[in-house]
Amino acid sequence: MRATLWLMGLFAIAVASALFAGNDPGTVTLFWPPQRVDISLNLFLLVLALIFVALHLALRTLAAFFGIPQQARRWRLQQRERAIQSALLNSISHLIGGRYIRARKAAELVVSLEDSVARSGEQLTYAQRLRTLSHLLAAESAHALQDHVLREKHFLDALEHASARDALEMRDGVQMCAARWALNDHDATKSMEMLDLMPQGASRRTVALRLRFKAARMAGRSLQALEMARLLTKHRAFSDIAGNSIARGLAIELINKSHDPLQLQRTWDDLENPERAMPDVAMHAAQRLLGQGGDAALALRWLLPVWTAFSEPSDALSPAQKVRLVRLLETAFGAAGQTPDAQWLARIESAQMANPRDAALQYLAGMVCMRLSLWGKAQQLLKQSLVLLQDPALKRDAWRALAELALQRQDAAGATEAYRQALNEAAKL
């Protein structure tokens, strides 16, 4: 189709030339005294066109001749750029392949080639970024070889070049690499310092949060690590299950670092509601508070969400967690020095009536009835719980409570039998 159009165009030009140039009567007279030259207009126009073409070709030839040195410089620069790119690719490929010495040498070759370009009077538009990346690759290779002196040298050079205007976007990456190297060297303090030097926006990136989380864990800063874990879970860097597990472990670490009730209260206030609602966290905090002689009413308040999950007919708590909760409630009621308040009595009674086959609830209700001097009901509930109880410690305490009830009735034989059963259960522990 294009060839047909070109052919039609040539025919049109030929026809137009034949019509307007073949019968043109015009002439051009040139006077050069004492001569006079008469030529046709068509020939004059043709000669003008030829002169224009000849002048154009001559000027193009002269421009190409005088541009040879510039073309030679451009060719040499292109060859050096190709060598730089080849060396840079070699450095990256060797670093990925684990050939760290070759990777470092290739990166240093990139720097030397860029130096030669700068000495020749040329300037690459991406020179600072190229130098930053090359020094960073060399530092990464030196870090893999445990050459800390050479790593620090290349790191400082990379940081210096990253301060240039056209390489500022690489400065955050250089600092994050330094933070990661410090973590690998088990220097959490230096890692945190490098992360603190980053701008606020860059420090909230996922990779920076991960590094800060690891550094905080290594430095023993549980509260800061917990804050990072919250952010990472929020940003979907951790799954919900993994995030909850990490938060639970860190919250327990914080609780273990509290050595008095006041400090424990401050630690509890630092936790967020989802962490306070975790059964293991709440029970550990309550156990710690009761062990330090703290307020039993406060411990019961911390245990209330766990009790809500326990009293509902669901699998929110494992059997071990149920046993631990019963133990803590029993300890809290005993530490209060008085019988449970009306609200807790109502909660326990309603839960026991709603779940009559739950042995732990029956045991707890029986112990509460025993504290309220309801001997008959306490004996009935404790005997019923013994049929279903699987935990040897609870069974031991249930038999011991039955022995005390037998002594209240002056039933020496019943008390002896109950104590014997308690010893048997104690032997299983």
Q: What is the pLDDT of residues 239-273, one digit of tens each?
A: 888 988 999 999 999 999 988 889 999 999 999 88
pLDDT bracket for residue 20 (50, 70, 90) = low
Residue 152 has pLDDT above 90, yes or no: yes
What pTM does this model have?
0.74
Summarize the confidence of residues 176-197 as an average pLDDT. Answer: 91
pLDDT bracket for residue 313 (50, 70, 90) = low
For residue 36, list its beta bridge partners: 31
Domains in the chain: how many in total? 3
Q: Both 97 and 41 in a single domain? A: no
| 415 touches 407 (CB < 8 A) | yes
The CA angle 185-189-195, to the nearest 5 degrees, is 95
Residue 188 has pLDDT above 60, yes or no: yes
Residue 403 has pLDDT above 80, yes or no: yes
| 102 touches 110 (CB < 8 A) | no
- Tell me what pLDDT residue 23 has: 64
Residue 394 has pLDDT above 60, yes or no: yes
Instruction: For residue 56, give Cα distances in angstroms to 51, 59, 69, 148.
Output: 9, 5, 22, 64
- 196 is a domain residue: no
Q: Both 420 and 358 in a single domain? A: yes
| 31 touches 22 (CB < 8 A) | no
Q: Both 80 and 37 in a single domain? A: no
For residue 38, list its beta bridge partners: 29
| 299 touches 289 (CB < 8 A) | yes
- Tell me what pLDDT residue 26 has: 73
Q: Both 81 and 158 in a single domain? A: yes
- Of 84-88, 101-105, 151-155, 347-351, the one with minimum mean pLDDT is 347-351
**Which one of 110, 137, 163 terminates a domain?**
163
- Tell me what pLDDT residue 46 has: 78
Summarize the confidence of residues 7-11 as an average pLDDT. Answer: 78
- Tell me what pLDDT residue 29 has: 79
Summarize the confidence of residues 392-406 as an average pLDDT. Answer: 82
Residue 415 has pLDDT above 70, yes or no: yes
- Rounded CA gap, 393 and 121, in Å? 86
- Which range of residues forms the domain containing residue 382? 340-429
- Tell me what pLDDT residue 119 has: 83
Q: Both 36 and 86 in a single domain? A: no
Q: Which residue has tokens 């800390």? A: 148
- Tell me what pLDDT residue 408 has: 79
For residue 29, list its beta bridge partners: 38
pLDDT bracket for residue 333 (50, 70, 90) = confident
Summarize the confidence of residues 115-134 as an average pLDDT. Answer: 86
Instruction: For residue 414, give Cα distances in angstroms to 422, 423, 426.
Output: 12, 14, 18
pLDDT bracket for residue 12 (50, 70, 90) = confident
Q: Both 345 and 416 in a single domain? A: yes
- Rounded CA gap, 224 and 161, in Å? 32
Residue 424 has pLDDT above 80, yes or no: no
The mean predicted confidence, pLDDT, of the chain is: 85
Q: Both 79 and 41 in a single domain? A: no
- 12 is a domain residue: no
- Rounded CA gap, 46 and 407, in Å? 138
Residue 39 has pLDDT above 70, yes or no: yes
pLDDT bracket for residue 325 (50, 70, 90) = confident
- Rounded CA gap, 329 and 156, in Å? 59
- Tell me what pLDDT residue 109 has: 93
pLDDT bracket for residue 89 (50, 70, 90) = very high
- 159 is a domain residue: yes
Residue 16 has pLDDT above 80, yes or no: no
Residue 230 has pLDDT above 80, yes or no: yes
pLDDT bracket for residue 24 (50, 70, 90) = low
pLDDT bracket for residue 380 (50, 70, 90) = confident
- 111 is a domain residue: yes
Residue 92 has pLDDT above 90, yes or no: yes
- Tell me what pLDDT residue 281 has: 92
Tokens of 66: 């005088």
What are phi and psi for residue 408, nearest 5 degrees? -60, -35
- 327 is a domain residue: no
Q: Both 94 and 39 in a single domain? A: no
Q: Both 344 and 377 in a single domain? A: yes
Q: Both 51 and 79 in a single domain? A: no
- Tell me what pLDDT residue 329 has: 86
Q: Both 379 and 423 in a single domain? A: yes
Summarize the confidence of residues 269-295 as an average pLDDT. Answer: 89
- Tell me what pLDDT residue 322 has: 84
- 133 is a domain residue: yes
Residue 338 has pLDDT above 60, yes or no: no
- 154 is a domain residue: yes
- Rounded CA gap, 360 and 170, in Å? 61
- 402 is a domain residue: yes
CATH of the domain at 346: 1.25.40.10
